[in-house]
């Protein structure tokens, strides 16, 4: 039986009998989902819970059903699914075609509307159109489609024109992207994933509305998601935004660093706290207070342990390196080094995030003339220097960090290939495919701190914290704040043990190299 804490009880009562919108600031492991589900059952009128992704939405749906909550009383959905559902009411014959924008550019190439000079850049044009939709370009209050300054901001933020040939055609590419977006917007019955949110807002369709709209993980919302949430609200409806500003770690992707404050101002919401974590033991909470002073352990929480180990000490306790454990790190490169050491000792593991692997593969195969790891390493050294020259003067330190991490990660993978007498770029690609995966389960998980958000393990190894946290490139105030948030997220993944883990010792070349014959041996 659920027995609410005083803070949970206060929120549930306010949700039941109050009238204002609420921003519920919940620390890591505070039982926010349980609190939301309890409150929903007592709220007046109808409610919708907007989950951050499909997996979380399905979990919430299942919990609502188990609690016996009628779907007419409360339901859960992603913002994309609810956008599409409402859009179908206005356009019942709508078809989802994921290649909608690519199909437009292909037909324009055939007709000659996209000439030979822009044909090599159609992929960038499609990507730019997608990002424009995600940023709400053309929606009332978000800027006119023909305003090229908005497009230029998107290009710069996402570093779309990262090679010389594309940069030379920058103005023409933006102009063509504007025309493609206009054409895409005319095709109202064919939509892609971005259109599920974008077109309902652009066309100002009528939405089915609710008495209560609840946004989960609200600290990671952006403008277009908040606009859609507002459209789902009845005239006197209430908005409930649930999140933790200290877990806002996606500012570099375009999520608003101050999303909860924006919601408070926009919806005139009052703030309520959940400061007690039910996940973390007392010693882990005390450690996490280095970054978030108000997080508190539940009175019944075990003590837990904080310790420090070398990588070699960890490897001696193989029985602990299982599905109950995770190795977390700020950067990808140390994880790859660790993964290869573990794999060579036949300890099953994978690095969470196939998308990270795909980005590395794209970079590794960028130069068609490169066939060997030696050629690739030379190109990568030139590439990372160009990236630094481009981003350092603009103080885009996250871009510099990302470039360096990719470079260092690929170097580790190339070294592993050479150790196995593999010297081709194709071998590098194969190694990447072998160590990166999505939804790692049943074995030891390695993960960046970003990818670990929302998850928990009995035993967490925090790898190479002293050399990676905070990032040396975090110079702006918001960047420093997000680095602090990353430390807080890492510490609060642990349900029992938190181990500060030193990186593996570098391999030492033996003094006597047996591969080289000595003169005496030759004589013999």
According to the 3-state scheme, what is the secondary structure of 62-105?
Answer: HHHHHCCCCCCCEEEEEHHHHHHHHHHHHCCCCEECCCHHHHHH
237 marked ligand binding residue? no
Q: CB neighbours of 362 closer than 8 A, spacing ≥ 6? A: none
Distance separating alpha carbons of residues 409 and 331, to the nearest angstrom? 9
> Does a cis peptide bond (omega within 30 degrees of 0) precede residue 282?
no
Q: How far apart are CA 229 and CA 238, in angstroms?
A: 11
Longest dimension (CA), the chain: 96
Query: Would the annotation count 26 as a binding residue?
Result: yes
3-state secondary structure of 307: strand
Q: How far is CA 194 from CA 131, 181, 211, 296, 359, in A?
A: 9, 12, 26, 40, 21
Q: Is 167 annotated as a binding residue?
A: no
Beta-bridge mates of residue 270 = 22
Phi-psi region of 174 (alpha: psi -120 to 50; beta: other; left: phi over 0): alpha
Is 28 part of any known ligand binding site?
yes
The closest of 380, 340, 385 to 363, measured between CA atoms, is 380
Among all chains, which residue has been given the structure tokens 């550019």?
105
Q: Is 33 annotated as a binding residue?
A: yes
3-state secondary structure of 173: helix
CB-count exposure of residue 489 (10 Å: 0-12, 13-18, 19+): buried
SS (H, E, C) 7-22: HHHHHHHHHHHCCCCE
Q: Is 32 annotated as a binding residue?
A: yes
Residue 27 in marked binding region: yes
Q: Which of 306, 317, 422 is nearest to 372 (CA)?
A: 422
Residue 503 DSSP one-character state: P
Q: In whole angstroms, what is the distance from residue 204 CA to residue 231 CA?
A: 9
The C-alpha atoms of residue 283 and residue 287 are separated, in whole angstroms, by 6
* HEC letters along 439-453: CCCCCEEEEEHHHHC
Q: Report how far residue 276's alpha carbon sits from residue 278's, in angstroms, rounded to the nearest whole number.
A: 7
What does the DSSP assignment read for 481-500?
A: HHHHHHHHHHHTTEEEEEEE
**Residue 75, beta-bridge partner list:** 48
Closest CA to 244 of 388, 31, 54, 464: 31
Please tell me whether 458 is known to bind a ligand: no
Residues contributing to the annotated binding site for ATP: 26-33
Residues at the annotated binding site?
26-33
């Amino acid at each position: 039986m659920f027995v609410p804490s005083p803070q949970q009880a206060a929120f549930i009562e306010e949700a039941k009998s109050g009238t204002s919108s609420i921003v519920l600031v919940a620390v890591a492991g505070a039982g926010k989902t349980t609190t939301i589900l309890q409150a929903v059952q007592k709220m007046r009128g109808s409610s919708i819970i907007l989950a951050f992704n499909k997996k979380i939405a399905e979990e919430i749906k299942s919990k609502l059903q188990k609690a016996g909550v009628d779907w007419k009383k409360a339901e859960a959905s992603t913002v994309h699914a609810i956008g599409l559902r409402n859009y179908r009411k206005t356009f019942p014959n709508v078809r989802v075609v994921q290649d909608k924008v690519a199909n437009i550019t292909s037909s324009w190439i055939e007709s000659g509307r996209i000439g030979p000079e822009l044909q090599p850049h159609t992929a960038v044009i499609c990507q730019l159109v997608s990002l424009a939709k995600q940023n709400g370009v053309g929606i009332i209050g978000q800027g006119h489609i023909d305003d090229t300054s908005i497009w230029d901001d998107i290009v710069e933020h996402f570093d779309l024109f990262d090679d010389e040939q594309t940069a030379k055609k920058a103005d023409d590419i933006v102009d063509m992207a504007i025309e493609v977006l206009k054409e895409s917007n005319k095709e109202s019955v064919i939509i892609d994933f971005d259109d599920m949110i974008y077109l309902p807002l652009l066309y100002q369709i009528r939405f089915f509305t609710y008495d209560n709209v609840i946004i989960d993980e609200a600290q990671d919302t952006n403008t277009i998601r908040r606009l859609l949430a507002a459209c789902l609200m009845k005239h006197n409806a209430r908005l409930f935004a649930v999140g933790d500003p200290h877990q806002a770690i996606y500012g570099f992707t375009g999520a608003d660093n101050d999303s909860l404050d924006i919601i408070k101002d926009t919806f005139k919401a009052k703030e309520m706290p959940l400061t007690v974590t039910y996940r973390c033991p007392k010693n882990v909470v005390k450690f996490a207070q280095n970054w978030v002073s108000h997080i508190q352990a539940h009175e019944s929480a075990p003590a837990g342990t904080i310790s420090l180990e070398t990588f070699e000490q960890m490897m001696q306790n193989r029985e602990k390196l299982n599905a109950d454990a995770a190795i977390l790190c700020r950067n990808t490169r140390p994880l790859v080094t660790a993964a290869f050491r573990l794999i060579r000792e036949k300890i099953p593991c994978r690095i969470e995030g196939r998308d990270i692997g795909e980005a590395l593969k794209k970079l590794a195969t960028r130069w068609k003339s490169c066939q060997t790891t030696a050629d690739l390493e030379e190109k990568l050294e030139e590439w990372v220097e160009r990236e630094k020259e481009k981003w350092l003067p603009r103080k885009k330190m996250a871009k510099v960090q990302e470039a360096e991490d990719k470079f260092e990660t690929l170097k580790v993978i190339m070294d592993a290939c050479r150790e196995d007498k593999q010297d081709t770029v194709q071998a590098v690609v194969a190694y990447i495919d072998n160590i990166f995966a999505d939804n790692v389960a049943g074995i030891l998980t390695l993960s960046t701190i970003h990818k670990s958000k929302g998850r928990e393990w009995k035993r967490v190894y925090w790898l190479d914290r002293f050399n990676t946290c905070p990032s040396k490139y975090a110079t702006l105030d918001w960047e420093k704040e997000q680095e602090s948030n990353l430390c807080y997220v890492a510490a609060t993944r642990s349900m029992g043990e938190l181990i500060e883990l030193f990186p593996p010792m570098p391999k030492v070349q033996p003094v006597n190299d047996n591969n080289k014959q000595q003169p005496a041996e030759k004589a013999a």
